Amino acid sequence: MPYRAPFFFLTALILVLGAPLTASALPGDSLATERARLAHNPSLLPLKPVDGAPNRWSTHPRTGGDMTTGDDGWSVTIVTDGDHVVRESLDVKAAGKPYTITKDGAATFASVFGTTTAADLTAATIVATTHDDPQITTTFRRGKRFAYRTVDDQRNGLHTAEILALADLAKTMQQYNVITSASLNNPNVPTGEGAAIFAVSAEGGLDPIAVRMNGTFIPGSTDGTPSDKLRMESNASIATANNQVHVIFGGRIIATVPAKVANGAATITVPPSLHLNTNVGALASPTLGGHATFARRAPTKEERTAALAVAAHELGTNSASNLGVANLTALDLGHGPAIIGTVNLHGSGNPHTDKRLFFIAENVSGKLQATLANTQTIRVTEPLLDEVRETLVDAIDLGDGTLSVVTREIGYDAHTYSIYSRTPTGWKRIYSGGGAAL
C-alpha cells in the first residue's frame, strides 16, 4: 500500500483564489472518468483498489519503484465517495535529499495531472503553513475548482501533494480536524476573499473593523462585540495577503509590515515613526490603502482657531474657549485640508450634562464649514461617562478612488466603529460595527 504522509491538526482552514484550471478530469468527476484519464498515461499501472482501505485507489509507475520498496519513487492515490472522486494525491519518496513537491516534483505532477493544473499549484498563494516539526511543512492553496494541500517531510524524504474538490471540501477536511462545516456556504468557514479594515492600537493590536465583499460589508457586530465571521474573515484576509498589512495614517500607506495571528488575535509591530495613543489612531488593511497628497498633521494656529469657531457654532456656545479639545487633525480628504476633531462642551454641576461633538470642517466657497457634525448629549453621573465620545481613527480608500473616514465610537461599556463616505448630499455613515466590550 502506498505511503500516506501524516496529516497534522490545523486550527483554521484559510482559502484564497488562484489561477483557473482547464476542465480536465480531476476531483469532482466520476471514478470511471478519472480511471480513463490515468489510463492514457502509458507510464502508469492500471488503477486498482488499495487493500484494506475502502474508497481508496492507487497506481504507480511501471518502472522506477514505488513507495513500498524503500527506494525513490512515487504513486498516485484517489479517494472516492461512491463513484465520485473527492481527493487525489501524488505521493513521492526522495530519500536522503532535499525535495519540494511544487519545485522538484513539478514535472512528475504535470505528467499525472496536466501542465495547467501543475502551473496552478505552483502559482497559487500559500495561505497557511504549519510546522509540527521544523522539518515538516503543511500548506493550503486554492484554485477556481480545487484546493491544494502539500506536505513536505524533509527528514525522511516523504512528500504529498493533494488536490481536493471544492464541492466536497468541507466533508473531506473534517478528517483533518480543520473545519466541521457541512457546507462551503456556512458563514463560520472563512474565505479570505474580502477587503478587511483594522484599527491599530498603540501596542500593535489589530482590532477588526469591517470586511467588504463584492461591495457589501458583512455583518460587523453583535451586542458590542465583533461577529465571529468578521473576526475570522479579517484574519483570513491577512493570510491571503501573505501575512502582511498596509499601515494607513493620514489617508495613505506609510508602511507595509508583517502581521501575526495567534489565538484569534492579529498583531503587528508598529512602525517607529508612528506614535499612537488614545486620541491618535491608524488603520491597517491587507489590500486597501489611500492616496492623500499631504501627511496627516496638527492644524496650524489659524486652522485651529477657525475649526473651534465652527465647533462652537455647532454646539450653540458663544466662545470656543468653553470647549475641551480631545483631538484636532488636519487631513487631506480631497477638498483641501479638512480639520477633523472631537470636542466637549462641559456642563456645570455634579452630575452635569455635556455635549460632545465629532465634526469634519472643510472649505466651502472660501469659508470653513462643518460638512459633518455628530453631537451627543451625555448626562455624566459617574467618571466612566466622561469617556463616551466619537473620535477619528483615520481615512481609507474603499476602492472607489475617494477617501472614507473611519471613526471609533466609545460607549459606556463598549466601543464600535463607523465608516463615512462622501455623497453628493454630504457625508453619510455607510457602516457601523466591529469593536469590543470594554
**303-362 tens-digit pLDDT:** 999 999 999 999 999 888 889 999 999 999 999 999 999 999 998 888 889 999 999 999
- Give the residue among 357, 285, 279, 353 at the shortest CA–CA distance from 315: 357
Q: What is the mean pLDDT of residues 105-121?
A: 81
- pLDDT-derived band at 176 (thresholds 50, 70, 90) equals very low
Q: Is the pLDDT of residue 185 over 60?
A: no
Q: Say which residue, 363 or 70, is predicted with more confidence.
A: 363
Q: What is the mean pLDDT of residues 251-274?
A: 91
Predicted confidence at residue 69, as pLDDT, reads: 54
- pLDDT-derived band at 54 (thresholds 50, 70, 90) equals confident
Cell numbers for 140: 493550503
Cell numbers for 421: 463616505
Mean pLDDT of the chain: 80
Most confident of 107-111, 237-241, 274-278, 382-386: 274-278
Q: Say which residue, 339 or 18, is predicted with more confidence.
A: 339
Q: What is the mean pLDDT of residues 161-176?
A: 62
Q: Name residue 262's beta-bridge partners.
A: 265
| pTM more than 0.75 | no
- pLDDT-derived band at 293 (thresholds 50, 70, 90) equals very high
Predicted confidence at residue 129, as pLDDT, reads: 59
Predicted confidence at residue 187, as pLDDT, reads: 44
Q: Say which residue, 177 or 377, is predicted with more confidence.
A: 377
